[in-house]
Amino acid sequence: MKPQTPPKTYRVKSFGCQMNVYDGERMAELLGEKGLHSAPEGEEADLVVLNTCHIREKAAEKVYSDIGRLVKAGEEAGKAPMIAVAGCVAQAEGEEIMARAPAVSMVVGPQAYHRLPEMLDKAVQGERASDTDMPAIAKFDSLPQRTRRSPTAFLTVQEGCDKFCTYCVVPYTRGAEISRPFGDLIAEARRLIEAGAREITLLGQNVNAWAGEDDKGHDVGLGGLIHALARLDGLERIRYTTSHPNDMDDALIAAHGEVDKLMPYLHLPVQSGNDRVLKAMNRAHTAESYMRLLERFRAVRPDIALSGDFIVGFPGETEAEFEDTLRIVDEVRYAQAFSFKYSPRPGTPAATMVGQIAREVMDDRLQRLQARLNRDQLAFNEASVGKTCSVLIERKGKHPGQWLGKSPWLQSVWFEGEAAIGDLVEVELLEAGPNSVMGRPLATVSA
Ligand code: SAH
Ligand code: SF4
Ligand code: F3S
């Protein structure tokens, strides 16, 4: 590779989960510290970071076609951008990317992106660089201070996964479970609040596996961390995602009844409602134990909004087994949910299991499942009509005077009136749609 002009502007494109978005923000902060500026909307950037996701379908092909598009646009403009591939595809297929895509200057895995600035120096000198090491906590220690300004912020507290569900790539792309230290998290939360965050969402691949020692030297879990964060002035709302049923403990459940700032929302994936399928997935919980857990949350927080993830068409799933998933949906009545067709991921045990399900069968099952999930989401929104709740304003609507934000139950709420981004407004909910609720502002609780 020839030496390249040092890039002045960058763009980070994140394609994955919320943690991937968080990583994208941290990479942007690193590049900012290095003196680069975010490319203005609509302008080509000198450096493009493709922050990829490997969870489902054709992730790698999408990366190659994105690279192809960037190269072509660069040729037409007479100036090719420098390209970095980051995220979970970089981790899983780093070597192939280096071999197959000569236009890529840097490949950097999710546990190594703190080294992006050094890699950039090398790339400028014409030396391609790849780093997919997993040095665990070192990354967070060498990242710059948070600079992102927004009323809502993500904070990664836990990373990695030791669960090895048989369909999933995450344990391979993100590595073993680690918890960031309590003190570091309180410090990062403080800086996010100083920069304007009023709501913080704690992130982890298994966020409720977080464990640490608090400032008094006591061993605490996520419930203890949430109690400590709730004491920070200026922080109004706390959320967390994604939890695993097997990592739930009493303190976290109790926190939902004790901490006002902890929002009444729980995302707890079940994947399937059938115990044979759950076992083949290596989920280590049953449909029944999952239901009992949800009851405990509802006992301390009756209005809690529940959300889940589902996979249809796992290898060997019969029609009757799929119907158990429909049954669990009918029992729980989710406020929101994410449902996916099973996607065989290279290197995972399920990819080579017998009984791979035909695409048409998966399509049909997904459609039937989603019809029920949509029904329940609308019903949840309709049941909230007439309630008054706080809405944290995140952005302006399409029309002048229109504002959009989130209810405590993570519904999108919009209204017309006087407000500003970051305000907490008391809103009466008036009219429900499938994806949002319209309301009327009563008062600004805090600006
Ligand atoms: N750690 C979290 C989320 C992991 S990925 C958890 O265990 O809940 C987010 C969701 O993607 C999963 O919950 C699952 O529903 C889905 N998913 C993961 N691998 C998949 C695959 N191979 N095919 C289809 N969906 C998948
Ligand atoms: Fe993947 Fe299972 Fe780990 Fe979630 S718990 S990240 S689905 S292996
Ligand atoms: Fe995707 Fe990696 Fe997140 S595979 S879902 S970006 S952990």
Ligand 1 pocket test, pick from 310, 311, 312, 362 with the greatest ligand atom count within 8 Å of Cβ, gives 311
* Mean pLDDT value of segment 127-155: 87
Q: What is the pTM of this model?
A: 0.95
- CATH top-level class of 145-263: alpha beta
Does 59 contact ligand 1 (Cβ within 6 A)?
Answer: no
pLDDT in the model for residue 136: 62
Cα(121)–Cα(147) distance, rounded to whole angstroms? Answer: 23
Residue nearest to atom 1 of ligand 3 (CA): 53
CA of 313 to the centre of ligand 1 (A): 13
CA atoms within 13 A on the CB side of 425: 25
CA of 25 to the centre of ligand 3 (A): 15
Q: Which listed ligand is nearest to 272 at the C-alpha?
A: 1
Q: State the amino acid at position 98 in one-letter form.
A: M
Identical fold between 145-263 and 296-383: yes
Q: Which listed ligand is nearest to 87 at the C-alpha?
A: 3
* Number of Cβ within a 10 Å radius of residue 71: 17
Fold (CATH) for 296-383: Transcription Regulator spoIIAA (3.30.750)
Cα(285)–Cα(308) distance, rounded to whole angstroms? Answer: 14
What is the average pLDDT value for the chain, to the nearest integer? 95
User: What are the tokens at 412?
Assistant: 């999108």
Domain extents in the chain: 9-135, 145-263, 296-383, 388-446
Q: Which listed ligand is nearest to 349 at the C-alpha?
A: 1
242 cis-preceded (ω within 30 degrees of 0): yes
DSSP string, 191-205: HHHHTT-SEEEEE-T
Residue nearest to atom 1 of ligand 1 (CA): 205
Asked if 290 and 245 touch (Cβ cutoff 8 Å), the reply is yes
Give the tens place of pLDDT for each residue, 357-369.
999 999 999 999 9
Asked if the model's pLDDT at residue 137 lies above 70, the reply is no
Cα(102)–Cα(369) distance, rounded to whole angstroms? Answer: 43
Residue nearest to atom 5 of ligand 3 (CA): 17
CA of 310 to the centre of ligand 1 (A): 8
Cα(367)–Cα(443) distance, rounded to whole angstroms? Answer: 41
pLDDT in the model for residue 414: 97
Residue nearest to atom 5 of ligand 2 (CA): 163
Pick left, alpha or beta for residue 228 (phi over 0 → left; psi -120 to 50 → alpha; otherwise beta).
alpha
Closest to 125 in 3D by CA, of 106, 107, 109, 144: 106
Task: For residue 168, give the ligand 2 atom closest to its CA.
Answer: 1
Task: For residue 91, give the ligand 3 atom closest to its CA.
Answer: 2
Does 27 contact ligand 2 (Cβ within 6 A)?
Answer: no
pLDDT in the model for residue 74: 86
Ligand 2 pocket test, pick from 19, 54, 165, 241 with the greatest ligand atom count within 8 Å of Cβ, gives 165
Q: Which residue did the predictor score with more confidence, 140 or 48?
A: 48
* Mean pLDDT value of segment 409-417: 97
Task: Identify the residues whose C-beta falls under 6 Å from ligand 3.
Answer: 16-17, 19-20, 53-55, 87-88, 169-170, 173-174
- CATH top-level class of 9-135: alpha beta
Does 179 contact ligand 2 (Cβ within 6 A)?
Answer: no
pLDDT in the model for residue 79: 85
Q: Which residue did the predictor score with more confidence, 42 or 156?
A: 156
Ligand 2 pocket test, pick from 164, 177, 268 with the greatest ligand atom count within 8 Å of Cβ, gives 164
Crossing angle of the two packed helices 250-258 and 287-300, in degrees rounded to 10: 30
User: What are the tokens at 7?
Assistant: 């890039």
At 311, is the secondary structure helix, strand, or coil? strand
Residue nearest to atom 4 of ligand 2 (CA): 205
pLDDT in the model for residue 438: 98
Give the tens place of pLDDT for each residue, 187-219.
999 999 999 999 999 999 999 999 999 999 999
CATH code of 388-446, in short, is 2.40.50.140
Split at pLDDT 50, 70, 90, the class of 16 is: confident
pLDDT in the model for residue 4: 85
CA of 53 to the centre of ligand 3 (A): 5
Q: Which listed ligand is nearest to 350 at the C-alpha?
A: 1
At 425, is the secondary structure helix, strand, or coil? strand
Ligand 3 pocket test, pick from 15, 88, 113 with the greatest ligand atom count within 8 Å of Cβ, gives 88
Q: Which secondary-structure segment (H or E) carries 238?
A: strand 237-241
* Mean pLDDT value of segment 413-433: 96
* Number of Cβ within a 10 Å radius of residue 297: 19
pLDDT in the model for residue 263: 98
Does 345 contact ligand 1 (Cβ within 6 A)?
Answer: yes
pLDDT in the model for residue 216: 94
User: What are the tokens at 38?
Assistant: 């975010």
- Burial degree of 7 (CB within 10 A; 0-12, 13-18, 19+): buried
